[in-house]
Structure 1
Amino acid sequence: MFIGYAIVTAIAILANAGIAVADFLRARPVLANSAEVGLPESRLPWLAALKAAGAVGLLLGLVGVPVIGVAAATGLVLFFIGAVAAHIRARVYYNIAFPGGYLALAAASLVLAVAR
């Protein structure tokens, strides 16, 4: 069980750290997607910080502080539920798989963290 948890969580860490960096750098696709869903550009650093904190929390959970890992995974699940909801509200469906994928990774990490 731990190996599955470690693999899924490592992927979630890399994915969230990567998108946090893209948010901090205001990558063109990030700006375009944010505009489409009605997210002000001024909120990007805050959202990037939340994603980065989630990645760090998942890492801490992976290396031996399980309560932090569970809290981080829970926070990321809630965060990406909000992201999916923003896409639905704005009727931007063509790329909803991206926040949906991050949501799935966070949820899988949470389930496996609790189950181990």
Structure 2
Amino acid sequence: MSVAHVIVTVLAAFWVGFSAVSLFSHAKWVVEPLTDYGVPLSWWPWLGLAKAAGALGLLVGLFVPAIGVAAAVGLVLYFIGAVITVVRARSYGHVLFPLMYLVPVVAAVVLGAAA
């Protein structure tokens, strides 16, 4: 495990965790786009839980690699789904936002595989 892997993984976990907290707290800058994309309100707690579990899984994965891999795969799928949701809603200007969370997770996986 390299220093770069640890740093990127911790940063990715906190970044995704921030996203989960923002969703749980119904931050205006999260709620408005989700509503515009047509994401049902009943899904929001589950989406926040998935992000929070993924963030925790990334951190645990520093000690138990299989959990980190599972968390990373889940988060990659989650954020690919978010990109698809944004594109389907034709909010092309917002595609960058889920990518901002996807890229650090992918970087953590790549660095972990390289170590």
Aligned length: 115
Alpha-carbon deviations, 1:72-96, whole Å to 9, x = none?
A: 0111001000000111111112221
Alpha-carbon deviations, 1:32-83, whole Å to 9, x = none?
A: 0101211012211000000000000000012x11111111011100100000
Provide the residue aligned with 1:79 in structure 2: 78
Contact in 2 for aligned 1:84/1:100 (Cα 8 Å): yes
1:11 maps to 2:11: yes
User: Unmatched 5+ residue regions in structure 2?
Assistant: none
Provide the residue aligned with 1:49 in structure 2: 49
Paired letter, 1:46: W
Root mean square deviation, CA, Å:
1.1
Contact in 2 for aligned 1:70/1:114 (Cα 8 Å): no
Provide the residue aligned with 1:38 in structure 2: 38
Q: TM-score, normalised by structure 1?
A: 0.93
Q: Hey, which bits of structure 1, 4+ residues long, moved more than 3 A? A: none
User: Unmatched 5+ residue regions in structure 1?
Assistant: none
1:105 maps to 2:104: yes
Give the distance between the partners of 1:17 and 1:71, measured in 2 at CA. Answer: 16
Give the distance between the partners of 2:78 and 2:35, measured in 1 at CA. Answer: 18
1:24 maps to 2:24: yes
Share of identical aligned residues, percent? 48
Q: TM-score, normalised by structure 2?
A: 0.94
